[in-house]
Structure 1
Amino acid sequence: MGRYQCHLLCRWFFTQSLCSVIVQQRKTIDYSAKQNLLSYATESSLDHLGYMTDTPRLEAQSALTTFEFRLSTVLTGAYTIPAGTQITTGNNVIFQTDVLTEIPPGSLSGTVSGHALVPGVSGNGFLPGQINALITPLPYVASVSNLTESNSGADQEDDDNYAERIQLSPEKLSTAGPEDSYKYWTRTANQNIKDVNVYTPAAGTVEIRCLLKNGDIPSDELLEQIGNVLSATNIRPFTDHVIPKKPDKVDYDISIKYWISTDDKSRATLIQSEVNKALEEYKLWQRSVMGRDINPDEIISRFKNAGAKRLEITSPVFTVISEIQAARERNIECTYEGLEDG
């Protein structure tokens, strides 16, 4: 190889070595530029976009529940339970009461709202009666327990939910009662809120319904929290009567038989697994939004994409769901009927 060819080869290697650097640099420039756009921004970049619209990311929130305190004997005077009285589950999850409450003379019990001491999801899911160990010493108190399952605890707001709130944030500037304004302020109550419907059954009456992550129904405690947010004088129009409510549930059953083609018999086990996954995804999809009609065609599409050859659907049948309703699966039966020719 001559000197000229060696020189060209060296230049070619040098140019090739620069290509990866140029590609990485352009990707970095592209990423940095997109962080200025709401659809692409993440983490701290999204936080800065939120600051521009006075919409900070929601911090972790404590789980909520309602406690019942029972006295060992009837007293002649009112018995005071201080705000901040602490109760635990026995596994280091501590709750405390929100406000001072009194048990009237002649009564043996009283109720009060409470929240987990440490914010986050760790306080969720304690069934009625499981939070029952009193930490704060109180004379005459025989027992204490939660009446409702602890709920609504949430970790710091994720990027997707935060971006949706930033997009709605211009609507918060109006106090004339526009629909999107109510949606924005409702979602500030808790980052678990995913779908909000604003309904006006009569002049001056505004009903707020919402669904949480995974299509969960909001608790009474969370509805009260939403009501407190929307009752602020700089949010609620003076003439509006705002009522937070749970969506009206529409129960439906799932009864399905399906077959797999003999051409796919080597993949039959995998297809059954994919069909089961498709069923779970359909249930979540159906329950996650209010006003979403129950449509068996959606099941057929998902099962076909999973590899099923044929389906027989006894239920559900097509059902119209109104904007204030949410579908809820009840009895589920999905049966694999075997291989089929054709």
Structure 2
Amino acid sequence: MQYVDLPDIFFTPEEAATIQQSVITVYEGLTGRTLQPADPVRLFLSSLATIIVQQQVLINQTAKGNLLRYAKGILLDYKAEDFGLARLSASSAITTLQFTLSIPLSSATGIPPGTRVGAQGGDGSIYFATTEYMEIPAGATTGTVTAACSATGTAGNGFLPGQINVLMDQLPFVQAVTNLTASSGGAAAEADEAFKERIRTAPDSYSTAGPQGAYEFWAKSTSAAILDVHAYSPAAGKVTIIPLLVGGEIPGQDVLDAVAETLEERGIRPLTDQVTVTAPSPVSYNTVLTYYISRSRAAEVTAIQAAVTAAVAAYQLWQRSKLGRHINPSELIARVMAAGALRVVPTAPVYTALTATQVAQQGTTTITYGGLVDD
């Protein structure tokens, strides 16, 4: 949802010169005196005007905080309360662990909740703990269970299958444990802009008839790690949900299962809807460009080179941070030139239109500095 194009709003004037002149004019009108620039009374009134300006600014900030567009921090939390919403707290990365017994047993083997498993080569400061009780049936040797990282945020993301395999709480007959899926889903607490977007779309959630907006709202409400969602119906009675994680990360199966579980609530999914949650299709592109710097800015070459590298990284993040965002080399050129380049010659990417089920993912990056040139 986009902002309506409205001008900035001021509830009270806060232009310093105008307020100062108003104070002096009122004084001169009441006393019948004309105050010269060096008059002590004029200087005293100017100091009072400064305080009034500060109060006007505070009044404006406070009044703007009552509007969703300007609200932030704790004021935004209170604004959300009107809609029955709360900011999503920081989430932990999750993964699926497989426990393996040394031999089949004649009775079921329980894996208690909170069983800790660390990463290979780690120091134990970050580990994953099982989130529920799990049993390996009699005669079987393996069982799987979901585990969450001990640290909230992104610290637990990115462990590949097989890297979480150090059992920290020894259990009888458990020979090995390993993660079957890459860990993902960890994120910081919901940021103001993402929270505002959920508040704006909250009215969509009031319907239980399965509109697109309601499915997207509830999917985003699963975790602060979910950045974007697209819901559509490929056929009558069928709904497909495609989430995208913060940073443009493709969600793993554990996150997809968590979204599906959220949408299974009877007050969210119509009984006749068959809901499928799937990851977006990645569309890879390479970044290859040569840039030149004006000879008049030769003293800034090192700083501009660093700024260009940062601009390319920012472009790649922008490119992958929304479902269906077309791969647009014009945006890359604009960002690199804003970083200080005089001329930019991109070889890749080429403009590529994406659908709402796709997301751009950068491949190789080649940045070449072409040297100084005349303006």
Same fold per superposition (TM over 0.5): yes
Partner of 2:314: 281
CA distance in 2, matches of 1:28, 1:6: 29
Matched, 1:229 2:262: yes
Count of aligned pairs: 339
Partner of 1:123: 156
| Correspondent of 2:295 among 262, 268, 280 | 262
Partner of 1:241: 274
Partner of 2:359: 326
1:15–1:35: structure 2 CA closer, same or farther, 3 Å change rule?
A: same
1:172–1:92: structure 2 CA closer, same or farther, 3 Å change rule?
A: same
SS at match of 1:163: helix
Identity across matched positions, percent: 41
| Correspondent of 2:136 among 103, 111, 117 | 103
Q: Is the 8 A contact 1:247 1:326 kept in 2?
A: yes
Q: Is the 8 A contact 2:183 2:252 kept in 1?
A: no
Equivalent residue letter for 1:234: G
Runs of 5+ in structure 2 lacking a partner? 1-32
1:13 offset after TM fit, Å? 2.5
Cα deviation digits, residues 72-91 of structure 1 (max 9, x gap): 22334443323333334442
Partner of 1:16: 46
Query: Structure 1 residues 179-188 or 151-160, which shifts more?
Result: 151-160
Query: Structure 1 residues 146-155 or 23-32, which shifts more?
Result: 146-155
| Correspondent of 1:52 among 57, 82, 88 | 82
1:193 offset after TM fit, Å? 1.3
Q: Using structure 2 for the length normalisation, give the TM-score.
A: 0.83
Query: Structure 1 residues 127-136 or 290-299, which shifts more?
Result: 127-136
| Correspondent of 1:29 among 39, 56, 59 | 59
Matched, 1:210 2:243: yes
1:70–1:168: structure 2 CA closer, same or farther, 3 Å change rule?
A: same
| Correspondent of 2:179 among 128, 146, 155 | 146
- Structure 1 residues 140-219: aligned runs within 5 Å: 140-219=173-252
Partner of 2:340: 307
CA distance in 2, matches of 1:300, 1:92: 43
Matched, 1:86 2:130: no
Q: Using structure 1 for the length normalisation, give the TM-score.
A: 0.91
Runs of 5+ in structure 1 lacking a partner? none
Cα deviation digits, residues 158-207 of structure 1 (max 9, x gap): 22221111111111110111111111111110112111111221111111
CA distance in 2, matches of 1:38, 1:339: 47
Equivalent residue letter for 1:85: T
Equivalent residue letter for 2:258: Q
CA distance in 1, matches of 2:169, 2:291: 58
CA distance in 2, matches of 1:20, 1:236: 57
Cα deviation digits, residues 140-164 of structure 1 (max 9, x gap): 0112232333321233322222111
- Tell me which stretches of 4 or more aligned residues in structure 1 moved more than 4 Å: 4-8
